[in-house]
Amino acid sequence: MIKTATKGGYWELMINVKNLTKNYGDVCAVGDISFAIRKGEITGLLGPNGAGKTTTLRILTGFLKATEGNVVIGKYNVEENPLQVKEMIGYLPESAPLYGDMMVYDYLEFIKRIREVEDEHRVREIADLCGLQGVMHKNINELSKGYKQRVGLAHAMIHNPDILILDEPTSGLDPNQIIEIRNLIREIGKEKTVILSTHILPEVEATCDRVIIIDRGNIVADDSTAQLRSSAGKDITILLELSGATFDEINNVLREMDGVKMVTRTGDRDDHIAMSLVTDGEKDLRPDVFTIIKDRGWTLYEMSREYRSLEHVFRDLTRGGVDGTI
């Protein structure tokens, strides 16, 4: 196991990627990226569709060969020791490769034998962990998408790997199923190193300790979720919908307020004017805005505020991303 020194001691590196590049002909899907993931981290690989997330994960798991670069899982090089790497990794691709005509119990027993797992109680243990107790007697093709994802997770974990790699684990699930899978991933992350790819911001904020943002094959951010939120700055946006004056009249008054950085018209609804005020965040300006509107006899229909969030960071870093599946 590779260890790296930090101010607090040593961290064990479970995944170490250096100068990874993958080309498909003239198309560069992943361009010279490097990162390391420590033992016990839940890391989100975040990016728009076609950013290179799936390609990166397939190289990490040994399903694709890199054009250039080096990947070490634990102490094993992916290209030089593929079998040892696969023993350390549990991999759930976006579309879990399940045998739909098999019962859940029979399927997991089948995977256990293929993986040469000797623990006779392992299927029951993994069914308990993944919440499959009530569907073990059902055929997989009878299950909901959420339960199929649970079976896929059980498949990926049945050999008790040190690392779990999940590609879009909540894709296509309804809101209740998404929450269930998120909770399951957090529970698994107490004992495993987890890397999951997604383009869904709430997924990362609810699940991950750390975020790597990738755009057009390049890493554009790599930090803890808290630090990335902090990097968004203190700006607060106040959203307004009002009537009784023109936008120019309203703009001329509001932009003179201390703390207002920008006033933008965002659209009209009937005779209402919708706008946003970007403020410096030093003070909540909503009471002052309300007083100005009231004193001038304007009619206020709506006022709310939003902080800059991880979503703003993501949009700023990935504008102009491509659409695709690489």
Q: Are residues 72 and 170 in the same domain?
A: yes
Domains held by the chain: number: 2
Give the end of a domain, one of 231, 266, 292.
231
- Looking up residue 252, the CATH number of its domain turns out to be 3.30.70.3100
Q: At what angle do helices 122-130 and 104-114 cross, to 10 degrees?
A: 120
79 and 170 co-located in one domain: yes
Extended beta strands in 39-112, E state = 42-46, 68-73, 76-77, 89-92
Q: Does residue 114 fall inside a structural domain?
A: no
pLDDT of residue 55: 94
- Domain membership of residue 316 (yes or no) is no
Domain with residue 212: its CATH number is 3.40.50.300
- The answer to whether residues 302 and 171 belong to one domain is no
> Rounded to the nearest 5 degrees, what angle is found at the Cα of 124, between the Cα atoms of 160 and 99?
80
Contact between residue 240 and residue 300 where contact means Cβ atoms under 8 Å apart: yes
Asked whether residue 187 is assigned to any structural domain, the reply reads: yes
Query: Which residues constitute the domain of residue 59?
Result: 2-100+155-231
> Considering Cα of 159, then 161, then 166, then 172, what sign does the dihedral take?
positive
Do both 159 and 301 map to the same domain?
Answer: no
Residue 139 lies in a domain: no
Assigned domain for 267 exists: yes
Q: Does any domain span residue 320?
A: no
Same domain flag for 165 and 267: no
Facing residues of 260 across strands?
A: 279
**Which of 67, 82, 44 lies closest to 214, judged by CA?**
44
Same domain, 270 and 293: yes
State whether 219 and 276 are in the same domain: no
Q: At what angle do helices 122-130 and 145-157 cross, to 10 degrees?
A: 140
* 197 and 91 belong to one structural domain: yes
Among the candidates 178, 207, 231, a domain finishes at 231
- Based on the domain organization, do 225 and 263 belong to the same domain? no
Distance from C-alpha of 202 to C-alpha of 185, rounded to nearest angstrom: 14
Looking at the domain assignment, is residue 112 inside a domain?
no
Q: 12 with 78, same domain?
A: yes
- Asked if residue 18 is part of any domain, the answer here is yes
Residue reference for tokens 């045998």: 99
Are 63 and 10 contained in the same domain? yes
Domain final residue pick, 213, 231, 249: 231
Domain identity same for 288 and 185: no
- Alpha-carbon Rg for the chain in angstroms: 25
pTM for this model (two decimals): 0.74
Closest among 38, 35, 32, 33 to 12, alpha carbons compared:
38
- Cα dist. 97→10, 94, 149, 196, 197 in Å? 38, 9, 10, 17, 18
pLDDT by 10s per residue, the chain, length 326: 545 544 444 458 899 999 999 999 999 999 999 999 999 899 999 888 889 999 999 999 999 999 999 999 999 999 999 999 999 999 999 888 899 999 999 999 999 999 999 999 999 999 998 989 999 999 999 999 889 999 999 999 999 999 999 998 888 788 888 888 888 888 888 889 999 998 777 778 888 989 999 998 999 989 887 777 666 567 788 999 999 999 999 999 999 999 998 899 988 877 899 999 988 878 889 999 999 999 999 999 999 987 666 777 777 777 654 444 44
Q: How much is the pLDDT for 306?
A: 77
